Structure 1
Amino acid sequence: MTVPSAAGGPPPDLTLVPALYAAFDDGSLRLHFQPEVDLRNGSVPGMEAHPRWQHPERGVLGPAEFMPIAAAAGLVHQVDQWVLRMAVTEARTWHRMAVGTAIRPPRLWVNIDVRQLASPAFLAEVDRLMAGRLLPAGALGLEFSERALGMSAPIVPRLLDGLRARGVAVAVESFGTWFGSLAMLDLLPLDLVKLDGLYLRATMRDLEGEAVVAAIVRIAHQRRLTVVADGVDTAQLAARVLALDCDRAIGPVFCPPVPVEDARLIALGRGRPDRWYRPPARADDRLRPWVQAAAG
């Protein structure tokens, strides 16, 4: 998980360090889950794990708020391990709850930081966490930023091959935010490409920009990769990425990250993401063109 930069921001509040230490044991550190929606039929083939800290006085804190504190306290590796361990455990819970049904729970995606990727013990750690949990192939996916893959280039192909050999899916996320190239899609063993939301909004301001995104999608599809639009926050953007042939999307216009109880309902087909959707005030944003497209 990426540690947000504190440059230019206030220093971390070190008075929270003891509470963060305690959070690993008292249940206040937890995962929320955000659905990844198939743009053609509205199904949920994947979900992303997002760490949250339920502080008793400050409310729910996201990584941008508590990871600088973890960094100052030397707890980043411990948080990273906790996130991966809890995600593997939750994925196993989904599959155990689905036993005896025709339901295949969504793939659970976990973001892996460059520090974890560069660790010589990373594959062994994944093996240890998955040992005995009997997860089917593809139940867990690990996503790495374009920057992380570029900075760790010499070790990356073999490591990703090792993950896929263990039944773990692999994705590049935040695609378009670094100076990597499309050659990455040829050189690395990947299953999914996640286009960064800020990149999409900055690029798709005119027909020329949309042509660039369409070309990326086409190249990814030629390599049999699934393409996900990340950070989709309006119905208009959802409609545009669907028109440009993106396969899936994730973002607040569909569903925010939800607590584990709600995520299990979605994972087991007992709830839809739009149950948690809160339509924005603007009437034109209340349109749901991706649903209309699926129905057609």
Structure 2
Amino acid sequence: DYKRSFEQYVQAGAKIDAEQANYLAAAHTVEPLLEKLNAIAELNAYATRNNAETEARITMWAICAAVLLASLLGLTVALIISRSITKAVGECLGFASRVAQGDLSTRLLPKGESEFGTLAVALNRMTEVLEERDAELNQSNTLLQQEVRQHQLAAERAEYLTYYDGLTTLPNRTLFSKLLNQAIRLARRDGKQLAVLFVDLDRFKNINDTLGHEAGDLLLQEVGKRLQGCLRESDTVARLGGDEFVVLLPALHDAADAEVVARKILAATSKSFVALGQEFRVTASVGVSTYPKDGDDEQSLMKNADIAMYQAKEEGKNNFKFYSLQMNANSFERLALESSLRRALDHGEFQLHYQPKIDAHSSRIVGMEALLRWQHPELGIVAPTKFIPIAEETGLIVSIGKWVLKTACAQNVAWQQRGLPHLHMAVNLSRRQFSDEGLLRDVTSILEETGMSADLLELEITESTLMHDVDKAIRTLKAFRDTGVRLAIDNFGTGYSSLSNLTQFPIDTIKIDGSLIHDLSNHAENRGVAEAILAMGRNLSLTVVAECVETKAEADFLREHACDEFQGFYFSKAVTAAKFAELLEATTTTAQEA
């Protein structure tokens, strides 16, 4: 085995040597080929390097060209974008400039959905809001200017009305005061006289109430013009208020010149007026005071002219009076009466007298009228004509009237309790009472308190009071009628009521005014009016009472024309409650014996 292994080893070695020889032989064959390949490889490598360098140069130039082209493209795009932005910015600047100049109607045209498009929409919306705000501001400004103008006009009007009367455009009390004081200073310096004339229209209230306030205003305007026509250019006429005017006559040489003007004023105002298709007449009462005789200051001259004017009214109106010291005494007397009147009710100074109403056919007493008397502790009996107007003006008539009503009702009940006839008690109501809101309540309360039957109370209201406000008068009368109280129109025939008005009033009695009864036999006009009233009373089924019957002739005439009742001195004056009870007892006894 060892030998065989060795032989195998020798064989393998020989084989290896053979293989090595073959390898060497092949190596000698391959070596030139490798050298050749190496040369080729070197050639290829050189060529490759040249190609790479060429490609690198080409790539570099390509990159440079691309960069240049990109730059050119970028520059072009930037230029286009810049121009677009510049245009948009220019449009925005132009838009802003137009807006700044006040053109809020300008708008930008949105282009696409770019930022500038969005900005254009926002700016347009902003301008719309500004335009709306501007319109609101302009409207507010216009309203503010109108309000300012109205305030200016109101201020100018207020300043005008400070010195002038709004209705007549005449100077008012304030301006007249300045002019009068100036005239007094000049008269004192120059040693001259001046006159102040108070002018008050007579019965103006009746016209105002009957024809309406519009007619009254037209009348006042016309009176103002007529007064101006009576004066010199240097004279002044002013309206103090209501129907009161005042005239200033400066630099007079003689007080008699004032009389000339006063007569002119009376003549001018007495001419007929036409307003709203109605023709009517008024008159005036004029009071005159002069400087320095009747006063040396405004207050004295105005007060004394006013006193003189009231004196002219008391003496019949449509007249003028110069101030005198006697008038001042009368004025103080009036003030004293007013002061005493305020205490009279509390001091029990009032009393009632009763005047009987006589049946025209049987001559029996069928009723009575309660008449107020004032027993002054110092002056004695004060005539009603003196204190009733003062009570009206001061408003005391309401409380005095309530006392009269309560006292009269209580007295009538007392007579009934003595077994005397149940008669109608007539009580007068003044205009102030009739317009008092509490009158109906007071009447019903007094009837309940005294226990007198409502149908025995007759309330007398003057014709002029009813005509003051016809509609309200009708409502008030109907309210009284519902309580059962009787109603009478007093002093009928001297006012402005018509037949149509008379039929509207729910009344029971009309009393013919005493001025129409006086001396009927010698006054055909009075007879005609009396006959017409009596006929109207019969046709309307009203009781007709004649007041102030003082003679047999008057009674006979009234009886012949179917007058229902008489009242007057021919039968009896107003007497105290005790004497009236005696009259009732006497007539009752006579009637029983008959």
* TM-score normalised to structure 1 length: 0.80
SS of equivalent to 2:345: helix
Q: 2:570 matched to 1:253?
A: yes
What does the per-residue CA deviation read over 1:99-123, in whole Å, with 9 as the maximum and x for residues that have no partner?
xxxx533211011111111222221
Matches within 5 A, 1:246-285: 246-266=563-583, 269-272=584-587
Q: Which residue of 1 aligns with 2:293?
A: none
Q: Which residue of 1 aligns with 2:414?
A: 93
Q: 1:71 to 1:148 in 2, by over 3 A?
A: closer
Contact 2:409/2:447 (<8 A) preserved: yes
Q: 2:489 matched to 1:168?
A: no
Q: Which residue of 1 aligns with 2:404?
A: 83
What does the per-residue CA deviation read over 1:152-211, in whole Å, with 9 as the maximum and x for residues that have no partner?
211122221221221211000100111212223311111111001102337764556534
SS of equivalent to 1:26: coil
Q: Which residue of 2 aligns with 1:151?
A: 468
Q: Which residue of 1 aligns with 2:97?
A: none
Bigger shift: 200-209 or 19-28? 200-209
Q: Which residue of 1 aligns with 2:365?
A: 44
Q: 2:448 matched to 1:131?
A: yes
| Partner Cα distance (2:474, 2:571) in 1 | 33
Contact 2:410/2:452 (<8 A) preserved: no
Contact 1:53/1:60 (<8 A) preserved: yes
| Partner Cα distance (1:74, 1:175) in 2 | 25
| Partner Cα distance (1:206, 1:69) in 2 | 33
Q: Which amino acid aligns with 2:565?
A: R
Q: 1:164 to 1:71 in 2, by over 3 A?
A: closer
| Partner Cα distance (2:395, 2:493) in 1 | 31
1:96 shift after superposition: 2.5
Q: Which residue of 1 aligns with 2:354?
A: 33
Name which one, 1 or 2, has greater alpha-carbon Rg: 2
Task: Pick one of 366, 382, 389 that aligns with 1:61.
Answer: 382
Q: 1:69 to 1:137 in 2, by over 3 A?
A: closer
| Partner Cα distance (2:456, 2:582) in 1 | 17
Bigger shift: 11-20 or 232-241? 11-20
Q: Which amino acid aligns with 1:32?
A: H
What does the per-residue CA deviation read over 1:75-113, in whole Å, with 9 as the maximum and x for residues that have no partner?
232222222222222222222222xxxx53321101111
| Partner Cα distance (2:401, 2:485) in 1 | 17
Contact 2:493/2:533 (<8 A) preserved: no
Matches within 5 A, 1:99-248: 103-201=420-518, 205=522, 210-248=527-565
Q: Select the structure that is richer in helix.
A: 2
SS of equivalent to 1:25: coil
SS of equivalent to 1:183: helix
SS of equivalent to 2:455: coil
Q: Which amino acid aligns with 1:85?
A: K
| Partner Cα distance (1:22, 1:217) in 2 | 43
Gaps of at least 5 residues in structure 2 are: 1-306, 315-329, 589-593
| 4+ long deviations beyond 6 Å | none
SS of equivalent to 2:550: coil
Q: 1:136 to 1:176 in 2, by over 3 A?
A: same
Q: 2:337 matched to 1:20?
A: no
Q: Which amino acid aligns with 2:576?
A: P
Contact 1:33/1:47 (<8 A) preserved: yes
| Matched residue count | 263
Contact 2:406/2:450 (<8 A) preserved: no
| Partner Cα distance (1:160, 1:71) in 2 | 21
Q: 1:72 to 1:206 in 2, by over 3 A?
A: closer
1:225 shift after superposition: 0.6
1:233 shift after superposition: 1.6
Q: Which amino acid aligns with 2:374?
A: W
Bigger shift: 233-242 or 75-84? 75-84
1:265 shift after superposition: 2.6
| Partner Cα distance (1:73, 1:206) in 2 | 38
Q: Which amino acid aligns with 2:360?
A: L
Q: Which residue of 2 aligns with 1:281?
A: none
| Partner Cα distance (2:532, 2:354) in 1 | 30
Bigger shift: 190-199 or 79-88? 79-88
SS of equivalent to 2:572: coil
Q: Which amino acid aligns with 2:429?
A: I
Contact 1:213/1:244 (<8 A) preserved: no
What does the per-residue CA deviation read over 1:124-179, in whole Å, with 9 as the maximum and x for residues that have no partner?
12122222322224211100111111112111222212212212110001001112
1:17 shift after superposition: 4.5
| Partner Cα distance (1:180, 1:95) in 2 | 37
* TM-score normalised to structure 2 length: 0.41
| Partner Cα distance (2:531, 2:507) in 1 | 19
Q: 1:57 to 1:244 in 2, by over 3 A?
A: same
Contact 2:512/2:533 (<8 A) preserved: no
Q: Which amino acid aligns with 2:586?
A: G
Bigger shift: 145-154 or 180-189? 180-189
| Partner Cα distance (1:237, 1:178) in 2 | 22
| Partner Cα distance (2:518, 2:392) in 1 | 31
1:39 shift after superposition: 1.3
Contact 2:352/2:576 (<8 A) preserved: yes
1:60 shift after superposition: 1.4
Gaps of at least 5 residues in structure 1 are: 1-5, 274-294
What does the per-residue CA deviation read over 1:248-279, in whole Å, with 9 as the maximum and x for residues that have no partner?
1111111111011112233xx31359xxxxxx
| Partner Cα distance (1:97, 1:134) in 2 | 15
